[in-house]
Amino acid sequence: MVTEINSITPLLAVLVSMIAAVLILASGKYPNLREGWTFVAAFIKFGLVISMLPLILKGDVITYTVVEMLPDIPIAFKVDAFGILFAITSSFLWIFVTSYSIGYMRSLNEHAQTRYFFCFAIALSSAVGIAFSANLVTLFLFYELLTISTYPLVAHNETPEAISSGRKYLTYLMIAGVSLLFAIVVVYHYTGTTEFSFSGIAGMDAIPQTTLVILFVTFMIGCAKAAFMPLHAWLPAAMVAPTPVSALLHAVAVVKAGVFTALRVILYVFGVDLMQDSGIWLYMAYFVSITIILASIYALMQDNLKKRLAYSTVSQLSYIVLGAVLITPHGLTGGMLHIPYHAFMKITLFMCAGALIVTAQKENISEMKGIARQMPITMIAFTVGALGMIGMPPVGGYVTKWFLLLGAAELHSMILIAVLLVSAVLNAAYFFPVIYVAFFKKPDHELKYKEAPLTMLIPLVVTAIISIVIGIWPDAPGMFLDIVEIAVANVTGGGI
Amino acid sequence: MIGFDLIAPHLPVLTVVVPLIAGFLTPIIGWIDRRLPWYWVVLAMFVVLLIAGNNLVTVINSGTIQYKLGGWDPPFGIEYVIDLLNGFVCLIIAFIAFMVSIYSKESVKKEVPGKTTPFYAVFLLLITGLMGMTITGDIFNFYVFLEISSLTAYALIAMGDRGDGVVASFNYLIMGTVAASFILLGIGYLYAVTGTLNMADMQNILPGVYESKVVLAALAFFMVGFSIKVGLFPLHSWLPDAYTHAPSTASALIAGLMTKVGAYAMIRFMFGVFTPDFVINTTQMTNILAWAAALAIIVGSVLAIAQSDIKRMLAYSSISQIGYILLGVGLANMIGMEGGLLHLLNHALMKCALFLVAGAIFYKTGIRNLYQFKGLGKKMPVTTTVFLIAALSMIGVPGTVGFTSKWYLALGSVDAGQWIFVFVILLSSLLNIVYFWRIFDNIWFGHPHEIENIKRDEAPLTMLVPMVILAVLCVFFGFFAYYPVHYVIEPLSEALLGLGGVLSR
């Protein structure tokens, strides 16, 4: 039996970076103090999130109602295993990206750094807010806040290109927001509530089949942050942002918020049973399979490293949704587990790409001949991340692929198994050339050893090491697999 | 408190009498010292705000207040009736007027130099007119106040931009007179049929004569007349010029209040003079209104995108937002009505804040073209932040007031089975993003290298304080909409739609 514990901790965890944002704004004239606030907030935030973990591991949930916004529409938090999984991932990585940001922004002598750190803090609040939302309206509140707070980060350069990318970003995500709102209104109309429930919102099964399908589609358009294939174009465009933004927000916080929302909708609004009975799961599985394959092919064609990574993200995000719509416990485990696993590996890759920009001023793969001689540590970390993406042991990626394959095999779906395998091959096809060029091609002229500043190097080495640790020892007590197992047990109503 | 006991029974009428007397005394005050009228107006508005607040609390606690003017019993004497509907609207008027009056100090001094005293006198009379329209329970008395508010509004607008202001005012005068004539004819028809001018009395008598074509004609005349007054598309042509060329203070007041009171009057006549069943089912008037409102929402937003003058853009945005209010009313179900009524409050807060910001920017820089706003984020950080919050409210971002009304309106449309209105509302919020976001881009993402030397140069404190209060309320009521909804809007909607509870009496 799940016990509900009332505690203000989730609200504090969300608010801490908002308060930090205000302090950042107030101390804009003193860069060290300003970044100090970011660090302090990052540590406190992670501390608050992790302090809730023991209760969650016991199988309890933590609830807190902030305010009743409208009659029957509360702004409320509910921390469950799935929510804390996302919250831990984002708040933990914020610590590293803060350090990395300082190195990156100062090395490039960027303008408007106060605005940058301010928006970053707000975005983190929103991400954790999404993770802890107890109902769709609260989730929508933070979902929109995340869009708005990340816009200045995408348009950071203020060049016409940055502004137009920002506009594209905004257009996609705001249309998504409107679509999501529509879907929420419809859910409320039929069921009289928007609160997530482990078995799906009661009363959803009374909705006529056609409406249900339309509702599901509008929900998925609403989850455009997850970059499903026809709605993915904002993500490569957003790569114009400074690299730490691409690393934390467009590989972790924003895109995972989209995937997280999709999973919340699939599992906690529609519910496992309804997904199965209505047959929607199969169509969704095929739909995201297309994204998995197509995005990998797109990635092959990119010469810009960050764009290649962006398309890789598009493809990997759909793994997560695929896992969720497989509905089997193994599939669910694979999908949910991919949220932190992909986060660690992809953030490593992005931080490497950023280090290359700062130290070697290189953005395109074709210019990176022999770059490993100049930046061996960075490129080794990159290789670790890439191997994880491909799914090679001992780096973490193979664990989630294993679960996903098991899930697909349980359904006896040759097509889905094939999709996963082909995608692994494609992953190899777009990552190995980078490694090959960097390590084995002769540089055009002699390169001296010169690594990125330590504030950047340490974070990317640490995340690379963690990527390996979670691969070697995925079932360490209290680690991600434990949390995921509880989350899966919650939605399937039993153990694995 | 012997004094208070003496005044207490007369509080309802004082909402009208205080600004009226204050208005007539303003020339004398101004003659003593030209700096005094501002303090005088702020004081008067503060008193009105307290009275209006007190009235609404009384209504919530102990029901409708009836006040017989001069002790004459209705239906022969004039009666002032304060129920939830006009108690709520009165408080909005009083609050917005108070905020605008504080703000007006520097702005009026700069924009209507040498005419501050007449400006404030007319300002107070405008409030008198609006308060009177709202509070009266007598249909002809309503017309008198309608004319007071209209004439004073013409005067205020004419004090604006040299030349253009007069033309705009004249256009408004023509349209406003047409509207007033329609309304007067309607009143005449109803008087001919029922023999009474008291609204409540009329509502009792009218159902017996619904068969009469005269009653139908009266309803049609009222709807057309008020549609002009609120600027409902396609009868909006006077509105953009009037809002654009009026002095900033007057724009904020007129945009925040005039159309709200027009919308109030429309609601009052539909549900408080005629009966809900008649306007909803028999004549389908609400249905027609909903479609017209939906059209206004889209057209207003699209036209707003085409504007480069910020005040004109806000004016077109008002046309669209009035559509929100009337759409809610036109849906004629509980949730839709709640959304429409809530938007009365919400739109007053947001639109007033936006016009005040436009005025502050004009005061400091003389710029109204929104493409010249580059670097303003650095020059006027507080003003632009207020703009950001109010504009996000207009877009309907959750956590701001705009979201709560959008939520109710969308839900109300779904409940009514009118899916197309849901799309209209959602499309409109996308269009809002289009026309507000280009301003954000201009304010904060201008030319970074050119703006490096810009120094902070904020608007004076008397301007900042009301703007910031309005912005804070935009967020506050975004999270705490429960209170207005629970105490006022829910019981009010029930009463209006005849689902239980009584509107007056």
Which chain B residues have a beta carbon less than 8 Å from that of A140? Answer: 398
Same domain for B294 and B236: no
Same domain for B452 and B317: yes
Euclidean distance between CA atoms B181 and B225, whole angstroms: 8
Domain contains B148? yes
**pLDDT > 90? residue A386:** yes
The residue among A122, A149, A178, A194 with the most chain B CBs within 10 A of its CB, best to mutate, is: A178
Which chain A residues have a beta carbon less than 8 Å from that of B415? Answer: 189
Give the containing element (helix H, strand E) for B80.
strand B79-82
Q: pLDDT tens for residues B284-332?
A: 888 899 999 999 999 999 999 998 888 899 999 999 999 999 999 998 8
- pTM greater than 0.80 (yes/no): yes
Q: pLDDT tens for residues A172-199?
A: 999 999 999 999 999 999 998 889 988 8
Same domain for B245 and B147: yes
* Domain hosting residue A333, numbered range: 279-496
Among candidates B375, B351, B350, B348, which has minimal Cα distance to B361?
Answer: B375
Say if the Cβ atoms of B479 and A69 lie within 8 Å: yes
Same domain for B289 and B264: no
Domain contains B4? no
The residue among B434, B451, B482, B490 with the most chain A CBs within 10 A of its CB, best to mutate, is: B482
**pLDDT > 70? residue B450:** no
Which chain B residues have a beta carbon less than 8 Å from that of A112? Answer: 448
Same domain for B267 and B309: no
The pLDDT-based confidence of B8 (bands split at 50, 70, 90) is confident
| Residue where one domain finishes, among candidates B274, B299, B330 | B274
Residue A199's CB: how many other CB atoms inside 10 A? Answer: 16
Domain contains A65? no
Domain contains B1? no
Q: pLDDT tens for residues B34-82?
A: 888 889 889 999 999 999 998 888 888 888 888 888 777 777 788 888 8
Burial of B447 (0-12, 13-18, 19+ CB in 10 A): exposed
Q: Which of B429, B433, B485 sits opposite A71 (nearest CB)?
A: B485
Same domain for B186 and B48: yes
Euclidean distance between CA atoms B65 and B87, whole angstroms: 9
Q: pLDDT tens for residues A235-275?
A: 988 888 888 888 888 888 899 999 999 999 999 999 888 88
Interface check B419 vs A, CB under 8 A:
no
Interface check B445 vs A, CB under 8 A:
yes
Q: Which of B410, B445, B478 sits opposite A155 (nearest CB)?
A: B445
Q: Which long-range contacts (CB under 8 A, 24 or more apart) does A405-411 make?
A: A405/A334, A406/A330, A406/A331, A406/A334, A407/A323, A407/A326, A407/A328, A407/A329, A407/A330, A407/A331, A407/A332, A407/A333, A407/A334, A408/A326, A408/A331, A410/A326, A410/A328, A410/A330, A410/A331, A411/A326, A411/A328, A411/A331
Task: Find where tokens 């092919």 sit.
Answer: A297
Domain contains A418? yes
The pLDDT-based confidence of A290 (bands split at 50, 70, 90) is very high
B410: distance to nearest CA of chain A, Å?
7
Q: Which distant-in-sequence residues (6+ apart) come within 8 Å of A51 by Cβ? A: A9
Say if the Cβ atoms of A70 and B481 lie within 8 Å: yes
Peptide bond into A394 cis (omega under 30): yes
| pLDDT at position A68 | 86
Q: pLDDT tens for residues A351-377?
A: 999 998 888 888 888 888 888 888 889
List phi, psi (to 5°) of B197: -120, -5
Which chain B residues have a beta carbon less than 8 Å from that of A188? Answer: 411
Burial of B297 (0-12, 13-18, 19+ CB in 10 A): buried
| Residue where one domain finishes, among candidates B247, B274, B301 | B274
Domain contains A209? no
Angle between helices A414-440 and A397-410 (to 10 degrees): 160
Among candidates B152, B138, B117, which has minimal Cα distance to B37?
Answer: B117
Q: What percent of chain A has pLDDT over 90?
A: 44
Q: pLDDT tens for residues A44-71?
A: 999 999 999 988 888 889 999 988 888 8
Task: Find where tokens 């950001």 sit.
Answer: B388
| pLDDT at position B112 | 80
| pLDDT at position A495 | 42
| pLDDT at position A1 | 60
The SS3 call for residue B81 is strand
Euclidean distance between CA atoms B495 and A401, whole angstroms: 60
Say if the Cβ atoms of A185 and B429 lie within 8 Å: no
Same domain for B239 and B138: yes
Among chain A residues, CA nearest to B480: A69
Asked whether the beta carbons of B290 and B254 are under 8 A apart, the reply is no
Euclidean distance between CA atoms B316 and B305, whole angstroms: 9
Same domain for B209 and B321: no
Same domain for B345 and B201: no
| pLDDT at position A474 | 84
List phi, psi (to 5°) of B447: -90, 105
Which chain A residues have a beta carbon less than 8 Å from that of B447? Answer: 158
| Residue where one domain finishes, among candidates B216, B250, B274 | B274
Same domain for B385 and B472: yes
Cα–Cα separations (whole angstroms), residue B441 to A159, B125, B436, B444, B445: 11, 40, 9, 6, 5
> What is the count of structural domains for chain A?
1
Residue length, chain B? 505
Say if the Cβ atoms of B479 and A112 lie within 8 Å: no
Q: Which distant-in-sequence residues (6+ apart) come within 8 Å of B310 by Cβ? A: B358, B361, B368, B369, B370, B373, B439
Interface check A189 vs B, CB under 8 A:
yes
User: Biggest alpha carbon distance in chain A?
Assistant: 70
* Domain hosting residue B296, numbered range: 284-505
Domain contains B417? yes
Domain contains B484? yes
Domain contains A269? no
Which chain B residues have a beta carbon less than 8 Å from that of A111? Answer: 448
- Label the pairing between strands A61-70 and A4-6: parallel
Asked whether the beta carbons of B387 and B371 are under 8 A apart, the reply is no
Domain contains B279? no
Same domain for B197 and B219: yes
Domain contains B444? yes
Same domain for B308 and B238: no
Domain contains A8? no
> What is the count of structural domains for chain B?
2
Secondary structure string (H, E, C) spanning A74-89: EEEEEECHHHHHHHHH
| pLDDT at position B505 | 41
Say if the Cβ atoms of B479 and A185 lie within 8 Å: no
Angle between helices B36-62 and B84-111 (to 10 degrees): 170
User: Biggest alpha carbon distance in chain B?
Assistant: 74
Domain contains B308? yes
Q: Which of A71, A137, A182 sits opposite B422 (nearest CB)?
A: A182
